[in-house]
Structures are given as C-alpha cells and as structure tokens.
Amino acid sequence: MSKWLQTAPVRLKAAGFYISGDMRHLYDANLRYTSLSFSVPAALAAKLPIPEAQKKIMIAYAYLPHHDASSAVLMLGNTDNNTMHLIIGNTVDAELPRSAPDVVPFIAGFHGYSRPIPVWVIEAVEILGEKGNPTFNNIKISFQSYVQYHRAPLGAIPSTSLSGTLVCSLIPSTGKSQGCAKVMINGIALNALLHTVNSSSTALSTNFSVRYFKNSATRMQALWE
C-alpha cells in the first residue's frame, strides 16, 4: 500500500493528470517491533508461571507507555494451535532483540515504567525462549501518508478515481479500528454521492471524484490528526 501511495501522483501524471506535491503529507513515526512466536505444547504450558486468569484470555499481559518519556510496548498473547506470541515494540534507535538470549535482558532494560513488569512475565518469557522454539520477525513500519485529493482542482484527477482507503495510510499500532473506520467513512461518502446521481445517466460527471473526496475529507483529516 505504501508503494502505491508513493507512485500514485507519478502514475496520474503519466495518464495526463497532475497532483501538486504539497497535497501529499508524510509522517514517519519511527515505529519498529519484533514479533516472536513460541510453540507451547501442554507439557510446556503447565510449566509457565502465568496466572490462571491470564491463561484463559487472548492477551495474557500488555504494557503501553504511561507517559511520553517511555516508548516501549510489550504484549504476551495466547494464540491458536498451542502457540504464544510476544510482541516488543519501540520508537527509539536501540536494536531490537534478534535471538532468544537477548529478549529478557532487553525487556528488563525498559525505562520509565511507573508499574514494573510482573515477575511472572519475565519468568514466562525466559522459559518460552529456552523451550518454545521461538521464531523472530523484525519489522520496521513504513511511513504514514495522506494525499489530500479533496484539494485538487477540477480536472486534476480522473472522475472515476475513488481510491478511498489509499488516500490515508495510518499507524498500524492503533489496531484494526482505524482501518474499519476508513472503510465506513469512504463507503458512506460514496453511497451519499451515488444517491445524487441521476439514475438515467450513462456516465459520471467530471467532478464526481472531487465531490467524493471532499465529502470524506473532514473525517479523514480527523483520523490523520
């Protein structure tokens, strides 16, 4: 998706349309995270010092920053097929762990916690690292982008260009809620606009896409901010 956003103005220009450079806003949140997957057969699960209540829910433990001085994120979750996942995120330039022995020292080195990580979390992660056959996935989240197509003058973009969900690429760490919100916002905007079209028309008006983007612009701007 980010590649599409990067090349959209170029491809529109190649098709005879022009998008001003100041219509495209970029933001790099410098978000990085490591996802670890552990194999947890019943025998290993029985040895984990996780409280019984936490064993029965999807997210056994989660930590989010309590203030701006802390940028670390930690989540230990129960997943299907006898597996568990550990997600470690950060916005600083410190290297994230890439091997099992590095995980516990990295977590123990988090600073700015107003509530310390429970001892059982550290112990569980240590056991999982030794016995859970961990696999690593280190990810650098791409930049966020917002192309303000609603500012385009008439004729600057094709009348049928309705790339609603690709107008704005948001931070994934906010979860699926913003993605669902974008779909709903753009769906409502398109539905409202289609109701204004004469049913006997055989073609869309030349300003159809401009009207569409203007209809959704206010709410899309709120998501971006």
Same domain, 37 and 133: yes
121-125 CB contacts, 8 Å cutoff, 24+ apart: 121/61, 121/74, 121/76, 123/49, 124/48, 124/49, 124/50, 124/60, 124/76, 125/76, 125/86
pLDDT at 116: 78
Q: Given 96, 117, 140, which residue is the final one in a domain?
A: 140
pLDDT at 4: 44
For the chain, helix (H) and strand (E) counts, in that order, are 8, 8
Strand order in the sheet with 135-140: 59-63, 73-79, 83-90, 32-39, 135-140
CB atoms closer than 10 angstroms to residue 173: 15
Query: Distance between CA atoms of 54 and 120, rounded to whole angstroms?
Result: 11
Three-class SS state of 29: coil
With left for phi above 0 and alpha for psi between -120 and 50, is residue 137 left, alpha or beta? beta
Distances (CA, A) of 161 to 25, 129, 145: 19, 49, 18
Same domain, 43 and 133: yes
User: Which H, E and C letters describe 50-98, residue by residue?
Assistant: CCHHHHCCCEEEEECCCCCCCCCEEEEEEECCCEEEEEEEECCCCCCCC
What is the total count of domains within the chain? 2
Same domain, 10 and 49: no
pLDDT at 41: 95
pLDDT at 115: 72
Same domain, 56 and 101: yes
- pTM of structure: 0.56
Low-confidence stretches of the chain (pLDDT < 50) are 1-6, 15, 164-165, 173-177
Q: Given 140, 175, 192, which residue is the final one in a domain?
A: 140
CB atoms closer than 10 angstroms to residue 212: 24
Contact yes or no for 164/190 (Cβ under 8 A): yes
pLDDT at 11: 53
Same domain, 151 and 133: no
pLDDT at 98: 83
Same domain, 9 and 54: no
Same domain, 133 and 174: no
pLDDT at 3: 47
Same domain, 13 and 83: no
Same domain, 52 and 124: yes
pLDDT at 173: 46
Same domain, 111 and 210: no
Same domain, 54 and 126: yes
Supply the range of the domain harboring residue 105.
32-140
Q: Given 96, 118, 140, which residue is the final one in a domain?
A: 140
Same domain, 124 and 166: no
pLDDT at 163: 53
Q: H or E element: which one contains 118?
A: none
